[in-house]
Amino acid sequence: MKKIYHITEDMSFNSGGVRTVLVNLDTYLNNTSVLNSTILSNFKEPNDPYIDFNPSSRLKMWNYSDEYKNYISSQISNLDVLHLHGVFMHPQFTASKQAEKHNVPYIVSPHGMLEPWHLKDKQLKKGIYLKLFLEKILSNSSMLHAITPLEKDNLFKLTKHKNIFEIPNFINYSKIPNHLTYNPNEEYILYLGRIHPKKGLDILLESMTKIENKKIKLKIVGEENLYSNELRTKCNNLLINNRVEFVGSVFGDEKYALYANAKAFVAPSFSEAIGMVNLEAAICKTPVITTFNTGINPDWNINGGLMINPRVDELTNAINLALSWNETERFERGGLLSEYVINNYSWEKKGYLWTDIYNSLINK
């Protein structure tokens, strides 16, 4: 069995989309007969089957760990491939140094962290780290992994790396309940995900004041935070409190029922690496309005979904169109989009792309 270590700083539940992607990748690889996958992390949930190391008191903001540093040093000669997930923390830094020292090939998946939108956030600190450490880590990698065509282009502009490959985020469609039906108690459109400025929730609230149907509700599902307080204030100012519901966090069957009973799912993000919620909603046969900035193939537009630029006017027009569909058209669009996601964004259909990548490095 060929051994692959995945290096990330956070596998705790609140790490969100990257956790989901990495858990699915690890599970898929360990179900093959030739690859053995292990995740190393600073943080994990109590029942997670991963190896974790507590950050030291010094350089804690960098997730520095003496224990982790010693462990990766002792294990590196037994590995066939290292895969670094994320770019700015000590676990990735140390792993890259050990890989270079012992001539072990390694892949870097930034998971959107090097997109222009993200680099502008804490720009000075990230810029310094990029120049002092990260440029070398990226240039010495065997491969860079991009989730979307846009990320691939941006990584090339940033690094000029000659070996950048694109594999999108995948979903396990067979693990999503197949008994879901559209039978809502009230008509609503749905947003589900992290409550953050990059998600476009401010323009979604603006659109709620402009759409033709003033009875439709918007459900916002996600863990509340300081930004959700700003959004509540915005609802007050826009006089749409009675039409917007902040639901909080929802999981499991309740989450999938919310997807399935929405008239449409809306994810108007300014920046996104595919967005697992778009794929989940589509698998639930719910039409999805999302943006070109998510990196999803524009064929989304001709396979039941709607893709727009993150602007109030375009979002308003898309919501108006979705709300004009009768049940038959909604079912047809949802079914078409579900098939599109299964064929193009599922582990069941496309997981082999990852085994091909690892084998190409192992067999060199």
Instruction: Give yes or no: residues 90 and 201 share one domain.
Output: no
Instruction: Give yes or no: residues 112 and 84 share one domain.
Output: yes
Number of structural domains in the chain:
2
Q: How far is CA 229 from CA 101, 121, 189, 217, in A?
A: 49, 21, 20, 19
Residue 117, H or E segment:
helix 116-120
User: What pLDDT, on the 0 to 100 scale, is given for residue 14?
Assistant: 59
The label of the residue with tokens 């609503």 reads: 188
Instruction: Give yes or no: residues 351 and 306 share one domain.
Output: no
The boundaries of the domain holding residue 233 are 174-344
Q: How far is CA 243 from CA 174, 184, 188, 215, 218, in A?
A: 34, 16, 9, 7, 6
Instruction: Give yes or no: residues 232 and 338 share one domain.
Output: yes
Instruction: Give yes or no: residues 211 and 278 share one domain.
Output: yes
User: What pLDDT, on the 0 to 100 scale, is given for residue 1?
Assistant: 86
Instruction: Give yes or no: residues 41 and 97 share one domain.
Output: yes
Instruction: Give yes or no: residues 108 and 181 share one domain.
Output: no
User: What pLDDT, on the 0 to 100 scale, is given for residue 13?
Assistant: 64
C-beta separation of 303 from 337 below 8 A: yes
User: What pLDDT, on the 0 to 100 scale, is given for residue 57?
Assistant: 77
C-beta separation of 349 from 343 below 8 A: yes
CB atoms within 10 A of CB 302: 10
What is the chain's pLDDT, residue by residue, as a tens digit (364 residues)?
899 999 998 887 656 678 888 999 999 999 998 999 999 998 888 888 999 998 887 788 899 999 999 999 999 999 999 999 999 999 999 999 999 999 999 999 999 899 888 888 888 989 999 999 999 999 999 999 999 988 999 999 999 999 999 999 999 999 999 889 999 999 999 999 999 999 999 999 999 999 999 999 999 999 999 999 999 999 999 999 999 999 999 999 999 999 999 999 999 999 887 888 999 999 999 999 999 988 899 999 999 999 999 999 999 999 999 999 999 999 999 999 999 999 999 999 999 999 999 999 998 7
User: What pLDDT, on the 0 to 100 scale, is given for residue 117?
Assistant: 81
Instruction: Give yes or no: residues 352 and 338 share one domain.
Output: no
